[in-house]
């Protein structure tokens, strides 16, 4: 902890003085809360199955200055072949104007780095940053808040639909080794707005050493608005990743979320949303793929505050080697949230004897007129299906590969954006056929 406190002092004196006063006050609140909370231990219910000791035991230096030399060619594999997306690129946590492209944004849409937003959208930032997500009980959110420095801001004004996806691409290269980047993102969709936002976290430093990404994204979805949010975590094999997405939904709004996690040595993805207006809907899906000694943790929380809302959740995982997966999903229904309709499912496929999953789907219901279900399944490849395929002339290895891919494709097919869906399907197929 001392290294982060010392890093905060240096950051405050050097790179953080140009921010508005409210940001400096928010940072101070963040570091104070971080020091009070300390790092979570496994006695903490939310971290019971995930030890953060590998992160705590390392001294990661804050990446607050511009480093790294990434070329456009290196980013091609992460763009899904699309050349017309509105894209902001951040290298080691810092905005890269040379690699970004936002030309052709429709009127009423602003996509810009946090540094520019301080000048161009000061009221929007002050109104929302730090007011959507809570750091009261979340150490890593408090730590991120203490080092607010760069990230992306997306604002879509009323009745505007953004036809093309907005891609926020966070890249870590060898210059990020032994460092920590802490992007802070804000997504604001006004009344009846509609947009697709993709957050990609990728690493170019495989085998080059460990680094740490601690990202927080806050989102507010106005009346009747629809946000499709895709979080793609493909960090380097030695990396550590903690990412939090926290949304607040207004009346008749919709959130469609998908989390894809396949990178990092240890990763934790938090997806939270509050359905605060009547008639809201939330769809949270995800896929995690682990191998070797990877540890992949997902925690979701859907909070039904208003009546007549629905939520659907499907998370699937495939674990091989000695990989360890964690799924902790909670649906919380307030007393006022009558007529809630919620369904939550977690399914995990274990491909080896040493792979393991800790899964805990939960319902906490304080209303009496609701329809909510939850469930979890854990198993291996179905021997009957394997036998059937082999009896039709398919060899054992190919049969296992096809069944594994089919298990993953079931949830990948829920992604409406064709470029991303097909890209992830191809990557998943290669993962299990090129071993």
Asked if the model's pLDDT at residue 68 lies above 80, the reply is: no
Q: In the predicted model, what is the mean pLDDT of residues 413-423?
A: 97
Helix (H/G/I), strand (E/B), else coil: 424: helix
Let me know: does 230 contact 262? Beta carbons within 8 Å.
no
Asked if the model's pLDDT at residue 433 lies above 90, the reply is: no
Q: In the predicted model, what is the mean pLDDT of residues 56-74?
A: 87
Residue whose pair of structure tokens reads 């890249």 in the numeric block: 171
Q: Find the range with the poorest average confidence among 1-10, 24-33, 190-199, 291-300.
A: 1-10
Q: What is the mean pLDDT of the chain?
A: 94
pLDDT of residue 16: 63
Residue by residue, DSSP assigns 128-179 as: HTTTSS--SS-HHHHHHHHT----EEEEE-TT-B--S-EEEEEEE-GGGTTE
Q: In the predicted model, what is the mean pLDDT of residues 389-407?
A: 87
Strands 109-113 and 152-156: antiparallel
Q: In the predicted model, what is the mean pLDDT of residues 322-341?
A: 97
**How many Å apart are CA 396 and CA 203, to the nearest integer?**
34
Asked if the model's pLDDT at residue 224 lies above 90, the reply is: yes
pLDDT of residue 229: 98
Asked if the model's pLDDT at residue 173 lies above 90, the reply is: yes
Q: In the predicted model, what is the mean pLDDT of residues 318-343?
A: 97
In 3-state terms, the chain is what percent helix, strand and coil (to 5)? 25, 40, 35
Instruction: Determine whether 413 is exposed, middle or buried from the number of CB atoms within 10 Å of its CB (0-12, 13-18, 19+).
Output: exposed
Number of H helices, E strands in the chain: 10, 21
pLDDT of residue 386: 84
Residue whose pair of structure tokens reads 């380097």 in the numeric block: 236
Asked if the model's pLDDT at residue 360 lies above 70, the reply is: yes
Asked if the model's pLDDT at residue 404 lies above 80, the reply is: yes
Closest by Cα among 321, 336, 317 to 269 = 317
Question: Can you give the pTM of this predicted structure?
Answer: 0.96
Contacts of 43 (CB under 8 A, 6+ apart): none
pLDDT band at 25 (very low <50, low <70, confident <90, very high): very high
Asked if the model's pLDDT at residue 205 lies above 90, the reply is: no
* Eight-class DSSP state of 105: P
Kindly state the percentage of the chain with pLDDT values over 90. 86
Let me know: does 27 contact 148? Beta carbons within 8 Å.
yes
Q: In the predicted model, what is the mean pLDDT of residues 157-162?
A: 98
pLDDT of residue 238: 95
pLDDT of residue 235: 97
Q: In the predicted model, what is the mean pLDDT of residues 215-230?
A: 98
Q: In the predicted model, what is the mean pLDDT of residues 92-102?
A: 94
pLDDT of residue 15: 62
pLDDT of residue 309: 98
Closest by Cα among 230, 290, 270 to 432 = 290
Helix (H/G/I), strand (E/B), else coil: 26: helix
Closest by Cα among 151, 342, 131, 138 to 247 = 131
Q: In the predicted model, what is the mean pLDDT of residues 204-226?
A: 93
Q: Record the tokens describing residue 224, joined without a space.
A: 């009747």
pLDDT of residue 18: 76
pLDDT of residue 12: 86
Q: Find the range with the poorest average confidence among 63-77, 131-145, 196-210.
A: 63-77
Let me know: does 305 contact 274? Beta carbons within 8 Å.
yes
Asked if the model's pLDDT at residue 17 lies above 70, the reply is: no
Which contiguous run of DSSP H or E holds residue 421? helix 418-433
Helix (H/G/I), strand (E/B), else coil: 52: coil
Contacts of 9 (CB under 8 A, 6+ apart): none
Asked if the model's pLDDT at residue 76 lies above 80, the reply is: yes
Which is higher by pLDDT, 83 or 289?
Answer: 289
pLDDT of residue 435: 63
Q: In the predicted model, what is the mean pLDDT of residues 125-129?
A: 97
Instruction: Determine whether 44 is exposed, middle or buried from the number of CB atoms within 10 Å of its CB (0-12, 13-18, 19+).
Output: middle
Asked if the model's pLDDT at residue 129 lies above 70, the reply is: yes
Closest by Cα among 244, 317, 63 to 171 = 63
**How many Å apart are CA 4 and CA 7, to the nearest integer?**
5
Length of the chain: 435
Asked if the model's pLDDT at residue 311 lies above 70, the reply is: yes
Asked if the model's pLDDT at residue 434 lies above 80, the reply is: no
Q: Record the tokens describing residue 378, joined without a space.
A: 């854990």
**How many Å apart are CA 334 and CA 363, to the nearest integer?**
11
Which is higher by pLDDT, 388 or 348?
Answer: 348
Strands (DSSP E) along 204-253, which ranges?
212-221, 226-234, 240-249
């Amino acid at each position: 902890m001392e290294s982060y406190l010392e890093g905060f002092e240096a950051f405050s004196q050097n790179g953080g003085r140009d921010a508005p006063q409210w940001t400096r006050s928010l940072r101070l609140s963040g570091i104070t809360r971080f020091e009070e909370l300390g790092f979570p231990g496994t006695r903490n219910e939310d971290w019971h199955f995930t030890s953060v000791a590998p992160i705590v035991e390392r001294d990661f230096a804050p990446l607050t200055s511009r480093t790294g030399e990434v070329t456009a060619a290196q980013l091609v594999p992460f763009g899904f072949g699309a050349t017309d997306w509105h894209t902001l690129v951040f290298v080691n946590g810092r905005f890269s104007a040379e690699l970004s492209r936002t030309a052709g944004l429709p009127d009423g849409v602003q996509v810009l780095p946090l540094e520019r937003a301080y000048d161009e959208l000061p009221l929007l930032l002050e109104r929302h940053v730090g007011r959507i997500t809570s750091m009261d009980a979340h150490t890593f959110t408090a730590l991120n808040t203490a080092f607010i420095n760069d990230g992306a801001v997306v604002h879509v004004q009323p009745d505007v639909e953004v036809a093309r996806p907005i891609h926020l691409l966070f890249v870590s290269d060898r210059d990020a080794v032994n460092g920590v980047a802490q992007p802070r993102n804000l997504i604001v969709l006004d009344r009846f707005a509609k947009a697709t936002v993709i957050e990609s976290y990728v690493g170019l430093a495989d085998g080059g050493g460990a680094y740490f990404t601690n990202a927080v994204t806050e989102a507010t979805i106005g009346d009747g608005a629809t946000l499709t949010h895709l979080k793609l975590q493909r960090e380097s094999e030695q990396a550590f990743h903690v990412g939090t997405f926290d949304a607040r939904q207004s009346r008749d709004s919709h959130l469609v979320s998908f989390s894809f996690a396949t990178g990092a040595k240890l990763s934790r993805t938090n997806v939270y949303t509050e359905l605060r207006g009547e008639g809201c809907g939330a769809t949270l899906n995800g896929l995690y793929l682990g191998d070797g000694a990877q540890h992949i943790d997902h925690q979701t929380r859907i909070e039904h505050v208003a009546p007549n809302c629905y939520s659907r959740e499907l998370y699937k995982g495939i674990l091989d080697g000695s990989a360890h997966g964690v799924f902790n999903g909670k649906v919380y229904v307030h007393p006022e949230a009558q007529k809630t309709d919620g369904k939550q499912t977690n399914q995990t496929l274990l491909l080896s004897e040493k792979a393991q999953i800790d899964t805990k789907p939960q319902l906490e219901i304080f209303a009496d007129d609701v329809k909510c279900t939850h469930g979890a399944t854990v198993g291996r490849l179905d021997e009957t299906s394997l036998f059937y395929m082999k009896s039709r002339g398919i060899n054992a290895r190919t049969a296992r590969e096809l069944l594994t891919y089919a298990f993953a494709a079931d949830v990948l097919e829920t992604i409406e954006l064709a470029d991303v869906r097909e890209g992830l399907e191809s990557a998943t197929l290669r993962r299990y056929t090129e071993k």
